[in-house]
Amino acid sequence: MASEYTVGKKNKVRQLRENAVYDTETVHAILNSALIASVGFVQDGEPVVVPMLFGRERETIFLHGARKARIIHLLKDTGTACLNVTHVDGLVYARSAFNSSMNYRSVTVFGSVRLIEDPDEKLHALRVISDCTMPGRWDELRAPQEKELKMTGVIALSIESASAKISTGMPEDEDEDYEIPIWAGVLPLQSAFATVQTDDRVIAGVEPSGVIKTMEGKVL
Amino acid sequence: MASEYTVGKKNKVRQLRENAVYDTETVHAILNSALIASVGFVQDGEPVVVPMLFGRERETIFLHGARKARIIHLLKDTGTACLNVTHVDGLVYARSAFNSSMNYRSVTVFGSVRLIEDPDEKLHALRVISDCTMPGRWDELRAPQEKELKMTGVIALSIESASAKISTGMPEDEDEDYEIPIWAGVLPLQSAFATVQTDDRVIAGVEPSGVIKTMEGKVL
């Protein structure tokens, strides 16, 4: 069933509104293909932006850090957060500086945050982050130890509103500029995983499993 | 001459301090190789993060947007901003979830912001943004029109403090975990420009210039 985020003051796209998308499917797809999110919080009334790995399960985004990390405490104390994910897909060379831009897929999420205290919920959240970042890896690993869980702070962000903004295709120039004999077009940018590099200390004969090999060459 | 940003409350790296770098050369190099920055500001006491193209000239970062854009006004009114740039260089598959992580180059900048009103300074700032994003392109383009400049809001952010955080290499596991017969290593992620795509409406016979062709294959 198609669903959309309600458009309100926070998530309303004001510039280039024709590029705005509010349906959950598009927002989720962009979040799914990102490795890190830029998470904003407020410290002493001033903004701070921190890149974080994350995982999403339905309308909840999980973030983790050292239990004592500033961002874990500030997010908990502030109670709200903003998170942005952006893929740059290319540079758009227009016929004027004014119309030059980039192609991108971007999502901004606003939500309430809480620190996860329950050990089972924490373990589940860490699994979601692992599954979103390194699919299939969790089951290959030894179980997390209690002290590791204690040292880790995990935040649950409930998505309250979100928007996506997508820009694709060729430059849109002023009518009269199309007569200028200048090259215009797109320089695509691609992010892709390369071939795995094995740690020297891996026990002889142990190879990367299928869940890892399948990541090689994957485009974000 | 080597110089460093003074370490203070805002820019002090608290987690994984061994990865922190404060020298201006490293900070500048990471900023130079990024296309967009995640810019944080405060709206009604809550954080907002917006991805923006940018340009740097010595210790000033220029940002632009539609003159009426929310971020331009909020940055001006707030007077301070935080900006983060992060390149993800790979996923680090450790022998435990706890030690799994990523390799990255990240910079966080804090500074004071002001709206540029002077037309000459504005034009200069736009040129810096263009030169940093699409090197050499500015001189190929027609001159910006007065109405285009009026429609554009440009912010100058003076870097007051900054830090870089860099993580490279293989996983660092617990001593006893090296005996587990599991694969460990790095899955590199590479962002690179591909081959240019020409707009159908380019006048026949006009080819991309050297400044554009030289971007093809460039790795960020």
> β-strands A46-57, B46-57: how paired?
unpaired
Structure tokens at B62: 């220029």
- Minimal Cβ distance to B187: which of A145, A148, A212: A212
Q: Which residues of A touch B171 (CB under 8 A)?
A: 199
Tell me if B158 sits within 8 A of B116, measured CB to CB: no
CA separation for the pair B80, B89 (Å, rounded):
30
Q: How many whole angstroms from its chain centre is CA A191?
A: 14
Flag whether B219 is in a domain: no
CA separation for the pair A196, B91 (Å, rounded):
10
**Amino acid identity of A9?**
K
- Minimal Cβ distance to A108: which of B49, B142, B191: B49
Determine whether the interchain pair A148/B80 forms a contact, defined as Cβ–Cβ distance below 8 Å: no
Flag whether B75 is in a domain: yes
> Which of B2-11, B19-28, B181-190 shows the lowest mean pLDDT across its residues?
B2-11
Per residue in B82-139, pLDDT (tens digit) is: 999 999 999 999 999 999 999 999 999 999 999 999 999 999 999 999 999 999 999 9
CA separation for the pair B72, B152 (Å, rounded):
10
> β-strands B80-93, B46-57: how paired?
unpaired
Which residues have C-beta within 8 Å of that of residue B71, sequence separation ≥ 6? B39, B41, B48, B50, B52, B63, B65
- Minimal Cβ distance to B144: which of A98, A148, A203: A98
- Minimal Cβ distance to A69: which of B15, B41, B130: B15
B residues 72-91 lying closer than 8 A (beta carbon) to A:
78, 80-84, 86, 88, 91
Task: Give B79's pLDDT tier (boundaries 50, 70, 90).
Answer: confident
Q: Chain A residue closest to B92 (CA)?
A: A134
CA separation for the pair A118, A132 (Å, rounded):
21
Flag whether B177 is in a domain: yes
Structure tokens at B201: 């409406």
Q: Which residue has the tokens 């007569």?
A: A179
CA separation for the pair A83, A29 (Å, rounded):
15
Tell me if A167 sits within 8 A of A189, measured CB to CB: no
Task: Give B1's pLDDT tier (boundaries 50, 70, 90).
Answer: low
Write out the residue range of the structural domain in which residue A166 sits. 17-185
CB contact A39 to B (< 8 Å) = yes
Flag whether A72 is in a domain: yes
Residue B69 has pLDDT above 70, yes or no: yes
Res A195: pLDDT: 98
Distance from CA of B126 to the nearest CA of A (A): 8
B residues 163-192 lying closer than 8 A (beta carbon) to A:
170-171, 177-192
Determine whether the interchain pair B108/A209 forms a contact, defined as Cβ–Cβ distance below 8 Å: no
Determine whether the interchain pair B46/A80 forms a contact, defined as Cβ–Cβ distance below 8 Å: yes
Determine whether the interchain pair B38/A15 forms a contact, defined as Cβ–Cβ distance below 8 Å: no
- Minimal Cβ distance to B194: which of A95, A190, A216: A190
Q: Which residues of A touch B137 (CB under 8 A)?
A: 93, 97, 100
Flag whether B201 is in a domain: no
| DSSP character string of B53-73 | EEEEETTEEEEEEETT-HHHH
Determine whether the interchain pair A171/B196 forms a contact, defined as Cβ–Cβ distance below 8 Å: no
Instruction: Report mean pLDDT in 10-residue bins for chain A, 220 residues.
Output: 84 84 95 96 87 97 86 77 96 98 97 93 98 97 96 95 96 97 98 97 97 96
Determine whether the interchain pair A192/B189 forms a contact, defined as Cβ–Cβ distance below 8 Å: yes
Percent of chain B with pLDDT over 70: 99
Flag whether B45 is in a domain: yes
Structure tokens at B106: 């990240």
CA separation for the pair B191, B168 (Å, rounded):
16
Q: CATH code at B47?
A: 2.30.110.10
Determine whether the interchain pair B183/A209 forms a contact, defined as Cβ–Cβ distance below 8 Å: yes
Distance from CA of B163 to the nearest CA of A (A): 12
Structure tokens at A158: 């409930």
Question: Count of domains in chain B?
Answer: 1
CB contact B53 to A (< 8 Å) = yes
Distance from CA of A1 to the nearest CA of B (A): 30
Q: Which residues of A touch B125 (CB under 8 A)?
A: none
Flag whether A4 is in a domain: no
- Judged by DSSP in three states, B83 sits in strand
In residues, how long is chain A? 220
Q: Chain B residue closest to A100 (CA)?
A: B130
Q: How many whole angstroms from its chain centre is CA A142?
A: 27
Q: Chain A residue closest to B143 (CA)?
A: A96
CA separation for the pair A91, A153 (Å, rounded):
38
- Minimal Cβ distance to B93: which of A39, A134, A201: A134
Task: Give B11's pLDDT tier (boundaries 50, 70, 90).
Answer: confident
Secondary structure of B3-49 in the HEC alphabet? CECCCCCCCCCCCCHHHEECEHHHHHHHHHCCCEEEEEEEECCEEEE
Tell me if B180 sits within 8 A of B151, measured CB to CB: no
Distance from CA of B2 to the nearest CA of A (A): 27
Flag whether A209 is in a domain: no
Res A173: pLDDT: 97
Tell me if B183 sits within 8 A of A136, measured CB to CB: no
Determine whether the interchain pair A184/B203 forms a contact, defined as Cβ–Cβ distance below 8 Å: no
Tell me if B183 sits within 8 A of A207, measured CB to CB: yes
What is the complex's ipTM, to 2 decimals? 0.94
Phi, psi dihedral angles at B211 (to 5 degrees): -65, -25
